[in-house]
Structure 1
Amino acid sequence: MTISDADQQAGSPEPSLTTQIVMLGTGTPRPDPDRSGPATVIVVNGMPYLIDFGPGVIRRAVAAYNKGVLAIGPAAVNLRTVFVTHLHADHTAGYPDLLLTPWILGRKDPVSVYGPKGLSDMTQYVLNAWKVDIDSRLNGIDRLPASGCAVHTHEIEAGIFYRDGNIKVTAFPVRHAGLENAFGFRVETPHKTIVFSGDTAPTQSLLDNSHGCDVLIHEAYSQATYDKVAPKWQAYRRENHTSSTELAELANRVRPELLILTHRVNIGAAMAMPDPEDVLLDEVRRLYKGNVVTGHDLDIF
């Protein structure tokens, strides 16, 4: 396994010596208009790094830029270093948007994407699916630079897989939907350490990699909705996701400075079933007395 020493990203704004967490999308497969698919930008010293690219990723990125996160760049042209936890559709359905829209609107440099085995095939299929569009923009009146739609894919394994002057990223295996290659990430910057659970049931690897973190960003489901779904979906949740009780137990062991709840799992729940976010938050807070919040799209920490 190789560790990438990334090149400086041309055209990025002047660095601000800090680390920001920008929640672009906090949703699930359920098409909630208030929550785009999973996507988070970590801005370190003025350089943006994207984790996951669910549906709506570029529109949320531009909304964050308009909100003042200038490192993302107009039309998200600076989102060129990208990490993906696993290849489920709710985490990856924004891939064509990520590769094509910023290029059409001005990106001139390639995108580097790091993720599980299967990423290279997914990338090639996306480029093939949009071949007519790409060819027309390369050879038609647009005359866009080919470099701007180039993609460098890196299929990763557990361990440190990326390092540059701003961050070090470690992948660790998690337990989700029988996927052989699903990861959580530990992101270390000069200012803080951030752990992303990815989608997972409780695992020792997550506990091991969360010790000493400043921020833990974790998926969860509420016991209140778990009790209302069919036994099939209760079993699915137990095997693939983390309950409020299990998450509180983890947080009590690792004691992050901030716990952010995201990807509120509602698999098996009817569309009309109430799933208020304060129920999940209250369940966690009953057992964990540290600083915990619910993440929303365009929250900045």
Structure 2
Amino acid sequence: MVTTSGMAITGLAIGTSITAIADTQVVMLGTGTPVPNGERAGAGIAVIYNDEAYVFDVGAGVIERATQAAERLDIAPLSPVNIDHLFLTHLHSDHVLDYPELLGTYWWRRTDQLKVFGPEGTQAMSEGIYTMLADDTETRLKDKSPVTNPDAAYADVTEITAPGTVFEEDGIRIEAFPVSHGHWDLAYGYKVTTPDKTIVISGDTSINEEVERQAEKADILIHEVISHSGWKELPEQWQAYHQYAHTLTDELADLANAAQPDLLVLYHVLHYGAPIESALEEVQRDYDGDVVLADDLDVFK
């Protein structure tokens, strides 16, 4: 792995233009948690394939990060108006707060509707956004604003009710699989398969055999994690809650040892009073494969 200017790049020589590479790449648009952090946006991951961006979760600050990726890293598909596909793991706030931002940003310049895939409740959430932006939408449709496609003010929503393939087109296949995240009846991880990469995104989950199965021999596994050293200092009731909803470092190390991904990427790190680096150190103690602690705007190939 080569790290430069805050960006992690695997398999890419320094000085090579990102946009000149046709291979699949992953851009970390947000690596944070519900805890406010000025250095980390809420959860958000983009898979770039064939000049299209496929975005997974859209927490607070993710659209600003996408704009930065388009402007600073020359990844044009991540300009918000170019993002046509959004996949939601579940509807916790730190995974969806920038959904109105994505839907509302320059919608009048969109050619196509934003296609959104998510669990039950995604349509109702979308309707709430339409209500919130109703005056904006009505005004832009009535005044002299040049609107490319009036329907682009609204998302094309598909609610996922069962695991399996939810999207397949032009060489990319995206499969949803169930994960265990507290009391969410429907929370999903995603497996993305392109001609050159298999990428698995855990979403928020406690330790889960289905994640292990999906991630077996994956090129990249992107997984949430809890710092054990931070967790053990919590009151017992908070220890019980967080272990019920999330994955401890030793548990993730066991999963990675079984699944053997080529690269394990840590994000959505809950570390409490411990340094965030403790999560990486703890996973590395029990797992000798390639593992990295992701920052916002890291790029992986």
Q: Same fold (TM over 0.5)?
A: yes
Structure 2 residue aligned with 1:88, among 87, 92, 104? Answer: 92
SS in 2 for 1:180: coil
Partner of 1:121: 124
- Partner of residue 277, structure 2: 278
User: What are the residue-to-residue correspondences of 1:115-154 with 2, within 5 Å?
Assistant: 115-144=118-147, 145-154=149-158
Residue identity in the other structure for 2:92: H
Aligned to 1:168: 173
- 1:11-30 correspondence runs (5 A): 16-30=21-35
**Kept in 1: contact 2:59–2:95 (CA 8 A):** yes
SS at match of 1:77: helix
Letter in 1 for 2:61: G
1:297/1:230 Cα in 2 relative to 1: closer, same or farther (>3 Å)?
A: same
- TM-score, length-scaled by structure 2: 0.89
2:249 maps to: 244
**Aligned-residue CA RMSD (Å):** 1.5
Q: Distance in 1 between matches of 2:262 and 2:276?
A: 21
Aligned to 1:206: 211
Q: Figure out how many residues of one structure are paired with residues of the other and give that number.
A: 280
Q: 1:120 to 1:219 in 2, by over 3 A?
A: same
Structure-1 separation of matches of 2:175 and 2:63: 25
Q: Which SS does the other structure have where 1:239 is aligned? A: helix
Gaps of 5+ in 2: 1-18
> Which residue of the partner structure matches residue 3 of structure 1?
none
| Structure 1 contact 61–72 (Cα < 8 Å) conserved | no
Q: How far 1:262 sits from its partner (Å)?
A: 0.2
Residue in 1 that maps onto 2:287: 288
Residues 53-68 of structure 1: pairs in structure 2 closer than 5 A: 53-68=58-73
Partner residue in 1 for 2:48: 43
**Which whole-Å CA distance do the structure 1 matches of 2:78 and 2:102 have between them?**
13
Report the alpha carbon displacement of residue 71 of structure 1 after superposing the two structures with TM: 3.3
User: Shift of the alpha carbon at 1:221?
Assistant: 0.6
- Give the percent of matched residue pairs that are identical in Structure 1 and Structure 2: 38
CA offsets 1:127-153 (integer angstroms, 9 cap, x no match):
111101111111123242313323100
Residues 172, 194 of structure 2: 8 Å contact kept:
yes
State whether residues 90 and 118 of structure 2, in contact with CA within 8 Å, keep that contact through their aligned partners in structure 1: yes
Give the counterpart letter for 1:133 in structure 2: D
Give 1:126 deviation, angstroms: 0.8
Q: Which amino acid aligns with 2:290?
A: N
In the alignment, the residues of structure 2 paired with residue 170 and residue 204 of structure 1 have an alpha-carbon distance, to the nearest angstrom, of 16
Q: Give the structure 2 partner of residue 101 of structure 1.
A: 105
Q: TM-score, normalised by structure 1?
A: 0.89
Secondary structure at the counterpart of residue 41 of structure 2: coil
Structure 1: 5+ residue stretches without partners = 1-13
Q: Find the aligned partners of 1:160 and 1:109 in 2 and give their Cα distance.
A: 22
**Which residue of structure 2 aligns with residue 232 of structure 1?**
237
CA contact (8 A) 1:16 1:45 kept: no
The runs of 4+ residues in structure 1 deviating greater than 6 Å are none
The answer to whether 1:259 aligns with 2:267 is: no
DSSP-derived class of the 1:234 partner: helix
